Structure 1
Amino acid sequence: MPFRRRKNTAAIPRTVPAFEHIVTEASDSFLWRLDDYPWERNVWNFHPEYEIHLLRKSSGVVLVGDHIGEFGPGYLTIVGGGLPHDWVTAVQPGELIGGRDIVLQFDPERLRGSAGLLPELRELEPFLERSLRGMVFHGQTALDGAELMETMGEVRGLARFRMFLELLDLLATTDEYELLSSPDFSPLLDAASLDIIQRSLTYLFQHFAEDLKLPEVAALAGMSESTFSRFFQKNTGNSFSDHLAKLRLWQACKLLADTEIPITDICFQVGYMNISNFNRAFLRKHKMTPSSYRKLSRQRLALRA
């Protein structure tokens, strides 16, 4: 099906995403910001500054480098400079999620440049290196980090800077984290490429539950199938089919955990054409069957109650 025949293609902007310039106040050494969702900077973007990002509300798909995963309230991550990222929540037209995100952005070279006078800052270097792949935190670290980021919004000046250093120390010394992007991920970080990738990722997120094919999205990108396939792999770290499967299985997991919809119906709702392919893909990704995943989700929910 040609791209132009979709009824809601107007929802996919064709604006070229600008390189994001992070501007801090003259009196601040880092930026702290409370964001609604969606807004104009909620796109697949990159910048040289490091970003500590707290998802306070809602759930959705996280894209960090070549990593595709799921986030929920309390999801705390850091993304190193130059690593593309986006956190996508499905919203209805006109819907606004107030205060979904707290964003903290800082220039690592300021820290490195200050290490001559404050040598303790050199202890952060291994953490800064790890962060170049993106890190997500869990357990008590995520809880304590979220509390610090929330409290930062209530103070200014030295009090906020003290909490910033406390947060860096917390994240740098914990072992409650996972690395996100693979070490060999190396996208083409120019505006034209980002424009194509952003439109493609948006379209995939909007239509992954349909019978979506590579030629359709290649047409959106204005490329041949073979050229787009290579381009998509280079700039997302995933093949087109793998990316599509990850989105479908993410949605399947939500439906398995949160609803009583029969597994066969879920299979078709998320875009699979037959139950055998769905079961096979689910088992390969999660090392268990959909029915086992649903049972385990119920058990975890009961333990939290």
Structure 2
Amino acid sequence: MKAIYEDVSHDKNNTIKVYEYLKPSFETPLHFHPEFELVYIIKGRGIRYVGDNLSNFKEGDLVLLAPNISHCWMDAADYSGECHSIVMQWVPDVLHDLAEFSEFENLFEQARRGISYTGTFSNRVFPLLESVLQSNGIARLQKFIDLLSQLQAEEKYTLLKSGLLANKTNLKSLNRLNIVYEFVKRNYASKIYLQDVADAIHLSKEAFAVFFKRHTQKTFFVYLNEFRIARACSLLKDSDTSITQVCFNCGFESLPYFHRQFKRLKGRSPLQYKKQFQ
């Protein structure tokens, strides 16, 4: 699967583009574009990539991204429902040069790392997102400004990417990263050797290790463990699969090692994590 530079089409009658994404899966590969983007998940769950960050997403998640951050959403392996979201995009130069938008400077600056909102706040702004979607012209712009004001005022949020990775990764590197991500998605339940992944993007094992660390600020096996733990979290939350079976289904060969990695990344044991969702 090739990474794409997304050429976002714009409505000549609306500065703010808003649409509903409703498909059997989140199928857009890792990509970037020069527009800001706000995404609200109505239905779906899985793993989200924002720059060098990998994390779970679920219904009710809201993410604001600055231009040129590489990103994509991927369905959980055990999720079979429809994928539904509201997506809002706008070109910064159109609005951000206006003096009135200076009050949102901090919001736009933090969006360079990707801002994630969850819980009661994202659910509270959902009706406003819908009203932006259903309006046009000046009415849409007014509701959009109201939405930015609420995002700016909210104090509970998470910054996603580390800030060490440049927002815009060149297309050739994105293509390679996409191949690596797809390789892991297909093979995470099995033993993965570094040489196998390096061969997939036609690099030596040593060159691949340097390439991956440079573009993600982490080693490949740290990323692989994060991916496997993210998959394990989905299974622990949404199925009756035993912790031992989750361990081996997600590619871990040792139950003690699985427990150590899970606690390191999630701050609690798999059993504690599972209990909080029962």
How would you bin the TM-score normalised by the shorter chain?
Answer: over 0.9
TM-score where L is the length of structure 2: 0.92
Q: Which residue of 2 aligns with 1:109?
A: 93
Aligned equivalent of 1:78, options 64, 80, 87 = 64
Distance in 2, matches of 1:39 and 1:250, equals 18
Residue 57 in 1 paired to residue 37 in 2?
Answer: no
Offset, 1:97: 3.0
Residue 20 in 1 paired to residue 6 in 2?
Answer: yes
Q: Which residue of 2 aligns with 1:301?
A: none
Distance in 2, matches of 1:247 and 1:238, equals 13
Q: Which residue of 1 aligns with 2:30?
A: 44
Distance in 2, matches of 1:123 and 1:108, equals 14
Residue 227 in 1 paired to residue 212 in 2?
Answer: no
Offset, 1:78: 0.4
Offset, 1:59: 0.3
Distance in 2, matches of 1:241 and 1:297, equals 28
Aligned equivalent of 1:277, options 250, 257, 266 = 257
Aligned equivalent of 1:89, options 75, 79, 85 = 75
Cα 1:206–1:142, aligned 2, differ >3 Å: closer, same or farther?
same
- 8 Å CA contact 2:68–2:167 kept in 1: the answer is no
Q: Which residue of 2 aligns with 1:5?
A: none
- 8 Å CA contact 1:76–1:145 kept in 2: the answer is no
Cα 1:193–1:141, aligned 2, differ >3 Å: closer, same or farther?
same
SS of aligned partner of 2:8: coil
Distance in 2, matches of 1:41 and 1:293, equals 29
Distance in 2, matches of 1:96 and 1:144, equals 24
Cα 1:82–1:223, aligned 2, differ >3 Å: closer, same or farther?
same
1:240-264 per-residue CA deviation (whole Å, 9 max, x = no partner) reads: 1111111111121222222232221
Distance in 2, matches of 1:40 and 1:279, equals 30
SS of aligned partner of 1:150: helix
1:47-70 per-residue CA deviation (whole Å, 9 max, x = no partner) reads: 121100111111000111111110
Cα 1:136–1:157, aligned 2, differ >3 Å: closer, same or farther?
same
Moved over 4 A (4+): 38-41
- 8 Å CA contact 2:235–2:241 kept in 1: the answer is yes
Offset, 1:139: 3.3
Residue 199 in 1 paired to residue 184 in 2?
Answer: no
SS of aligned partner of 2:54: strand
Aligned length: 277
- 8 Å CA contact 1:52–1:76 kept in 2: the answer is yes
281-290 or 35-44, which moves further after superposition?
Answer: 35-44
Offset, 1:138: 2.2
Identity %: 27
Q: Which residue of 2 aligns with 1:143?
A: 123
- 8 Å CA contact 1:53–1:104 kept in 2: the answer is yes
Cα 1:21–1:234, aligned 2, differ >3 Å: closer, same or farther?
same
Q: Return the index of the structure with the highest Cα Rg.
A: 1
Residue type of the alignment partner of 1:66: D
Residue 167 in 1 paired to residue 153 in 2?
Answer: no
Distance in 1, matches of 2:43 and 2:239, equals 20
Cα 1:169–1:264, aligned 2, differ >3 Å: closer, same or farther?
same
Cα 1:96–1:260, aligned 2, differ >3 Å: closer, same or farther?
closer
Gapped runs of 5+ residues in structure 1? 1-12, 299-305
Residue type of the alignment partner of 2:267: K
Gapped runs of 5+ residues in structure 2? none
1:133-175 per-residue CA deviation (whole Å, 9 max, x = no partner) reads: 0000123321122222222222222222111111111111110
Residue type of the alignment partner of 1:46: F
Aligned equivalent of 2:20, options 22, 31, 34 = 34
